[in-house]
Amino acid sequence: MTTISPSILNCDIADLRGELAKIKNADYAHVDVMDNHFVPNLTWGLPVVESVVKTGILPVDAHLMIENPDVWAPQYAEVGCASVTFHAEAAAAPLRLAKEIHKLGAKVGLALNPATPFEQFQDVLGYFDMILCMTVEPGFGGQSFISEVLPKIRRARKAISAAGVQVSIQVDGGVSRKTIEQAADAGADVFVAGSAVFGAEDADKEISALRSLAEGHCH
C-alpha cells in the first residue's frame, strides 16, 4: 500500500488549517519537529503539533529531529499523533522508547540519517512499525534527493521481507515526480513530500500524481 505524507515544513504556517485542507486527500500530515540542536534549524514543538492534531483533517505523522527523544517523544503520542518517529542517532534507549510510545497508542518510526547503517537494527525490526531512511541530511526542506541511500532501502526491504514482519519504509527528502519511482522500486512505501506538494499549483492533484507513480513500483 502506498502512503503519501506531505510535510508541512513548506506550508504557509499563518494559514495552517487552510494548508492542511489543501492536502486532505493525503494519508498523513508529516510534521517536522526540529530543536536547533540535533539539526541546525528550529521549527515548532508540541503546541503546534497538538493544534494540527486537533484540526482533525489528517492523522499526524510526527518526525522528531531533536535531542533527548527518550524524554520528549512520548508526549507527542499523548497529544494524539498517529505515528511518532525519532532518530536512532539521538535515542539513548530506542527499544524502551518504542515500547513506551506503543503503550500510548501511536505507531513508532525509527529514522536513520543518510550515513547511518540499517544493519545494526535488523534484528530488532519487530519493535518498530516504520523505518525512515532519510534521503537528505535532516534540517531543511527543498534539498536534493541523495540517490546513494537507495541501496540501503533495498537492503532494508529485503531484511523486512526475510523477517516476515509488517514494517513500512518511509523516505523523506527530495521526493518528487522525478525521484519517487526510484524510491518505490527500491522498496519504500511511505513517501514524505514537502516542496513538491506545497510548491505545486494544485496540491491535491500533485498528491494523486505522486501516489500513482509510486503505486506502479511499490513491492
Binding residues for a divalent metal cation: 30, 32, 63, 172
For residue 101, CA distances in Å to 71, 84, 98 come to 11, 8, 5
Q: What residue numbers does the annotated binding site for substrate cover?
A: 7, 63, 139-142, 172-174, 194-195
Is 129 marked active-site?
Answer: no
- What is the C-alpha to C-alpha distance for residues 178 and 92, in angstroms, rounded to an integer? 36
Residue 67: Cβ-neighbour burial (10 angstroms; 0-12, 13-18, 19+): middle
What size, in residues, is the chain?
A: 219
For residue 112, CA distances in Å to 64, 81, 86, 142 come to 12, 20, 9, 19
Q: Which of 27, 32, 35, 61 is catalytic?
A: 32
- Closest among 170, 144, 173 to 157, alpha carbons compared: 170
- Closest among 7, 55, 11, 46 to 28, alpha carbons compared: 7
Is 189 marked active-site?
Answer: no
| C-alpha Rg value of the chain to the nearest Å | 16
Q: What residue numbers does the annotated binding site cover?
A: 7, 30, 32, 63, 139-142, 172-174, 194-195
Q: Which of 27, 61, 172, 189 is catalytic?
A: 172
Cell digits of residue 202:
494544485
Q: Which residues are catalytic?
A: 32, 172
